[in-house]
């Protein structure tokens, strides 16, 4: 973690380059500029607004469903979307959607932070769980699967179910857009992971320009308004705004030597000598995803014989396969 975010009050590097008045609290290495807390906050909000308009993420009549875990990214996302929507005449109210995977001692706490935030700002908050939707908590599911020869990292099962539930429940709630709190660091990390595993169709699907990211019969349009903000800036922003959030990490992420974690450490280390690393990866992702999108656009997917969703499998999609196994 960047040293700068450990203690915001202690960090002083001179005068803010933006206003020339206040003491700086953050140095943005890739831009070579320092910021006071006020100017950094303004700059971050400007970046979010610009990202939303550059990638045509929202239209005035959208019904936005915001994925809310209670962690810093999703809280910052919801807070900013709320501000953006306030400027839109007659905007439909946002709905925050939390998925409780059933991770003992962790998710209950983060959902508490999510609930507190929604109560404070009067936002409708929907909470749905793995238990309610697929019959088992993630903890129970892992207990069941861990003796299997093909047992995978907990995140594989977790992400597969959560992605589907977020999408389906957001559609049930009448959403037209599903907003997710992925930041620049997440995007860079995911891109590198997809390259390492040669998951080119996935890269193509994630392009912000891809037609398939617009809502269709199966999937709601997904937007990532924080995708140009490095994780450390979001940490500073949330502290300067004094917004409560849940800061602990998922025990499964701590416990398992996930490759993703190694990839993240690699990026963090590289950033020390090349601060533009994440931006280069982001730009690479945008360019490559556009090339791959054109490459894959004429390939017709198969459809799952159980749920009807598009799938690269021949018969049953991975989600239905897993749900069948645990039932
Ligand atoms: S770290 Fe992995 S197991 Fe934990 S909530 Fe995230 S995806 Fe699920
Ligand atoms: Zn300033
Ligand atoms: Zn299916």
Work out the number of other CB atoms within 10 angstroms of the CB of residue 74.
27
Atom number in ligand 1 closest to CA 158:
8
SS3 281: helix
Token pair recorded at residue 100: 């409780």
pLDDT of residue 126: 98
Nearest CA, atom 1, ligand 1: 253
Percentage of residues in the chain having pLDDT higher than 70: 93
- Report residues whose beta carbon is within 6 angstroms of any ligand 1 atom: 101, 154-155, 158-159, 250, 252-253
Lowest mean pLDDT among 5-14, 77-86, 150-159, 243-252: 5-14
Work out the number of other CB atoms within 10 angstroms of the CB of residue 30.
14
Higher pLDDT, 213 or 131: 131
Per-residue pLDDT reduced to its tens digit, 71-125: 999 999 999 999 999 988 888 999 999 999 999 999 999 999 999 999 999 999 9
pLDDT of residue 313: 79
* Domains of the chain as residue ranges with CATH: 48-296 (3.40.50.620), 301-327 (no CATH)
Which residues is 23 bridged to in the sheet? 15
Q: Which of 158, 163, 246 to mutate to test the pocket of ligand 1 (most atoms within 8 A of CB)?
A: 158
CA of 30 to the centre of ligand 3 (A): 43
Report whether 265 contacts 220 (CB < 8 A): no
pLDDT of residue 6: 43
Q: Read off the pLDDT of each residue in 144-156 and give the average, rounded to a whole number.
A: 80
Distances from the Cα of 187 to the Cα of 12, 156, 208, 263, angstroms: 29, 17, 12, 12
Q: Read off the pLDDT of each residue in 9-13 and give the average, rounded to a whole number.
A: 52
The phi, psi pair for 219, rounded to 5°, reads -120, 140
CA of 250 to the centre of ligand 1 (A): 6
Residue 257: pLDDT band (50, 70, 90) is low
Per-residue pLDDT reduced to its tens digit, 291-313: 998 888 777 778 999 999 988 87
């Amino acid at each position: 973690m960047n040293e700068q975010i450990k203690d915001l009050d202690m960090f002083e590097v001179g005068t803010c380059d933006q206003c020339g008045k206040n003491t700086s609290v953050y140095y943005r290495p890739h831009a070579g500029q320092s910021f006071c807390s006020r100017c950094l906050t303004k700059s971050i909000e400007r970046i979010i607004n610009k990202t939303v308009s550059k990638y045509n993420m929202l239209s005035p009549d959208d019904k936005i469903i915001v994925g809310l875990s209670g962690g810093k990214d999703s809280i910052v996302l919801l807070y900013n979307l709320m501000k953006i929507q306030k400027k839109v005449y007659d905007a439909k109210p946002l709905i925050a959607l939390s998925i409780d995977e059933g991770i003992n001692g962790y998710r209950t706490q983060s959902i508490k932070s999510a609930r507190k935030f929604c109560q404070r700002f009067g936002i409708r908050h929907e909470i749905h769980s793995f238990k309610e939707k697929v019959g088992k908590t993630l903890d129970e599911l892992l207990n069941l699967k861990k003796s299997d020869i093909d047992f995978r990292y907990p995140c594989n099962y977790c992400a597969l179910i959560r992605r589907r539930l977020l999408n389906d429940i957001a559609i049930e709630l009448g959403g037209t857009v599903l907003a997710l709190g992925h930041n620049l660091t997440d995007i860079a990390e995911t891109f590198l992971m997809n390259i390492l595993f040669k998951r080119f169709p996935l890269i193509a699907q994630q392009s912000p320009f891809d037609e398939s990211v617009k809502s269709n019969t199966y999937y709601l349009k997904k937007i990532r308004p924080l995708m140009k903000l490095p994780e450390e800036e979001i940490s500073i922003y949330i502290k300067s705004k004094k917004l409560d959030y849940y800061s602990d990490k998922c025990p499964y992420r701590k416990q398992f030597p996930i490759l993703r974690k190694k990839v993240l450490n690699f990026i963090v280390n590289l950033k020390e000598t090349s601060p533009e690393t994440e931006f280069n990866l982001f730009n690479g992702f945008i360019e490559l995803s556009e090339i791959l999108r054109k490459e894959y656009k004429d390939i017709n997917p198969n459809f799952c014989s159980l749920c009807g969703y598009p799938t690269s499998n021949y018969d049953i999609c991975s989600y239905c396969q897993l749900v069948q196994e645990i039932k």
